[in-house]
A and B are shown apart, each in its own frame.
With several copies, the nearest count.
Chain A
């Protein structure tokens, strides 16, 4: 198996205007920086992005928003982002808010071939509107459907030509889940390693879930909330 592509521009081929993309990351942590830049270079429009967050004004998915390439965001928390707010209030940008655990579980459902799952998150709130409620053992659950997206874009720490991926610390977050959920999954990695050098016991995403892989360049890995303690 050799799923290596030359670069981000080649990796995103086939992503067209109006498509739905799953994008890994939590905040600015573990986001596919190179693919985001390539999407801007390509200028694909009217995207629907399923991603836990929407970046900040000048980084992450915020760059796609600035370039007005996103029609709709499906997220759990859109954070502090002035351009996002402007586009949303002006009606240019559609936003669908989903509880974070529901977002994660709908990815898992897609990757595990479960058409729908039950979760108690959102019962009795506006999130439940129009959704099927079912009681198990006296507790109410909402029926939530698996995502179905043509492309997923994820960022890993290490990967090999088979598409096997290893993530680092909390940069794992939604990445392995979205990798499982895309019909075509694109992985950018900090380090592309030779096949056989990853410990088979410690692969987070087996290559069967990954279709294209490349080593990204110049990761900025910006910190959103730099917080430090005083030396004691």
Chain B
């Protein structure tokens, strides 16, 4: 079973040289730490920056320089600032190659729910609906089951949707799965030490298993 860092490491292997990537809050943010050295990747922050650098050193925080999670950040050489319309413009026009974000639920046809739980205080969708509706490649980083032990990979989402038919790939603590265009979670890899049976048990939606399922490589 993977911890959060393991999930982030596995997702980092999906990143390709030359990619522009938008990382959501939480596990996705960790992915930045595991992108292979020498690979040219530019991180986009939807509040108006291409070229996110590491967090600043203590005393070097700049209140005018934050990421979409409102955290203080730095920039890398070659970065560019722009307004929010251009930021979502480049997302909507498919210039951002990959979006990695968390989810509460994903359905077997690629629907995603990650912004609202009825009866609980709703903070808002922020940029999530724009990202999932527009990004050309979306990977979800999440736990396979929720705290109550229920699967988050469902036949249909029970929570209000963030977007329809948009998730392409899911990486959880148990497995890597593709969401097939025709519907269904296709099991690609098992986490180290996890059996196919455990994944079957943790997956409520349609799971497609073909042939041997290799154990994932994360380092």
Let me know if B77 and A173 touch, CB within 8 A: no
CB under 8 Å from chain B, chain A span 51-99: 52, 75-80, 85, 88-89, 97, 99
Choose one: B61, B93, B134; the contact of A110 (CB below 8 Å).
B93
Interface residues of A (CB under 8 A from B): 1-2, 26-30, 52, 75-80, 85, 88-89, 97, 99-105, 107-108, 110-114, 119-127, 157, 160-162, 164, 167-177, 180, 195-196, 198, 200-201, 203-204, 206-209, 221-229, 231
Please, which residues of chain A bring their CB within 8 A of the CB of B183?
none
Choose one: A29, A120, A122; the contact of B64 (CB below 8 Å).
A29
Main secondary structure of the interface of A (DSSP, over half): loop
Please, which residues of chain A bring their CB within 8 A of the CB of B88?
100-101, 104-105, 112
Q: Do A206 and B50 contact each other (CB < 8 Å), given the known contacts A99-B130, A102-B130?
A: yes
**CA separation between A102 and B84, bound complex, in Å?**
10
Question: Is B49 part of the binding interface, using a Cβ–Cβ cutoff of 8 Å?
Answer: yes
Please, which residues of chain B bring their CB within 8 A of the CB of A102?
129-130
Closest residue to A79 on the B side, CB-wise? B123
Let me know if A225 and B66 touch, CB within 8 A: yes
Main secondary structure of the interface of B (DSSP, over half): loop
Q: Measured between C-beta atoms, what is the minimum distance from B23 to chain A in Å?
A: 14
Choose one: B47, B93, B162; the contact of A180 (CB below 8 Å).
B93
Let me know if A168 and B64 touch, CB within 8 A: yes
**CA separation between A162 and B79, bound complex, in Å?**
9
Interface residues of B (CB under 8 A from A): 18, 20, 40, 42, 44-51, 54-58, 60-67, 69-73, 75, 77-96, 111, 121-130, 133-134, 160-165
Let me know if B129 and A125 touch, CB within 8 A: yes
Let me know if B78 and A195 touch, CB within 8 A: yes
- Chain B CB count within 10 A is highest, among A108, A168, A221, A228, for A228
Choose one: B61, B75, B121, B133; the contact of A228 (CB below 8 Å).
B61
Q: Measured between C-beta atoms, what is the minimum distance from A77 to chain B in Å?
A: 4
Let me know if B160 and A169 touch, CB within 8 A: no
Closest residue to B161 on the A side, CB-wise? A125
Let me know if B133 and A120 touch, CB within 8 A: yes
Let me know if B47 and A125 touch, CB within 8 A: no
